[in-house]
Structure 1
Amino acid sequence: MKYFLLTLLLATSSAMADVVVIAHPSGPDSMAKNDIRDLYIGRSKQLPGGQTADPIDLSQGQALRDEFHTKVTGRSQAQLNAFWSKQVFTGKGQPPRMLDSTTAVKSAVANTPGAIGYIDASEVDGSVKVIFTP
């Protein structure tokens, strides 16, 4: 039983992607976890330096989205849904725009000044820069 649990734990941890937060090349060189969280839950609308932020989220149901929000915003999908439903209903905010793939996120960030997003570390190239690794 002990070996089964160890094997299961190792399989689960290796299945987790190495999520990184990326920015447009003209964006900040780094950001703190709390500042990124604030962008993704609507508490802030600006990047360091005052540039308007354009946070980009993956669509629901993607493992990398769940990993990002668990590690950075501290919220599950159910908590995010409840939070954004309330924000939208009360007129206090709109959720970040969502794209269907990390390829689309990387492309949007690379082509949009002020944009930030998250992708698997293995997908990083010279078109974007890593500003945070949870």
Structure 2
Amino acid sequence: MKLFKSISKIAIGLTLLIGSLVHAEVAVIVSASNANAALDQDTISRVFLGKTSNFPDGSQAIPVDQTEGAASREAFNDKVLGKSSSQLKAYWSRLIFTGKGTPPKESGSDAEVKDLVAKNPNLIGYVDASVVDGSVKVVFKF
């Protein structure tokens, strides 16, 4: 009986943990020195899908992805790009094959993406909103 109670407590704990991860807020960020104060979902999508390489103010926009499988990346792909990981792989495979584009560079975790973006006003990335600090500016949240 004690084993059953222990397993039940673990299961409840995991359910709460997974639930909190699913509902975590993701922030699209640029460097604090970037002139763009806010971006809409369409603009962000166009940058990350290689359809434009500029911010609305005309400055260069270089997207940075998180590592494949990261929770923030899965949420970003689904909510902002409207594509699954497999759809994005197929999308980029076609563009690479025809020489019409290259996917964003992968950079790792929330902290690594935040640090890279903070140092370069041309970069745009996304992180869990909990890691945002004064070194970056949130231009979109979901």
Q: Do the structures match in fold with TM over 0.5?
A: yes
Instruction: Tell me how far apart the structure 2 counterparts of residues 20 and 41 of structure 1 sit (CA, whole Å).
Output: 18
Q: 1:13: how far off?
A: 4.2
| Per-residue deviation, 1:25 | 1.3
Runs of 4+ in structure 1 over 2 Å off: 10-15
- Equivalent position SS for 1:132: strand
Shift of residue 133 of structure 1? 0.6
What TM-score results when the alignment is normalised by the length of structure 2?
0.84
| Secondary structure in 2 matching 1:37 | helix
Q: Does 1:15 align with 2:41?
A: no
Counterpart Cα distance in 1 of 2:49 and 2:77: 10
| Cα shift at 1:98 | 0.7
Aligned position for 2:46 = 38
**Aligned counterpart in structure 1 of residue 110 of structure 2, from 98, 102, 111:** 102
**Could you list the runs of 5+ residues in structure 1 that have no partner in the other structure?**
1-6
Describe the superposition over 1:42-101 as per-residue Cα deviations: whole angstroms up to 9, x where unpaired: 111000110000111001111110001101000000000000011101000000111111
Instruction: Find the residue that maps to 1:117 and give its secondary structure.
Output: strand
Confirm whether residue 51 of structure 1 aligns to residue 36 of structure 2. Answer: no
Larger radius of gyration: 2
1:40-119 maps to which residues of 2 (within 5 A)? 40-119=48-127
Aligned-residue RMSD, C-alpha:
1.4
The alpha-carbon deviation at position 26 of structure 1 amounts to 2.2
Relative to the length of structure 1, the TM-score reads 0.89
Distance 1:120 1:87 in 2: 29
- The answer for unaligned runs of 5 or more in structure 2 is 1-11
Counterpart Cα distance in 1 of 2:21 and 2:40: 26
1:14 and 1:101 map into 2 onto residues whose CA distance is 18
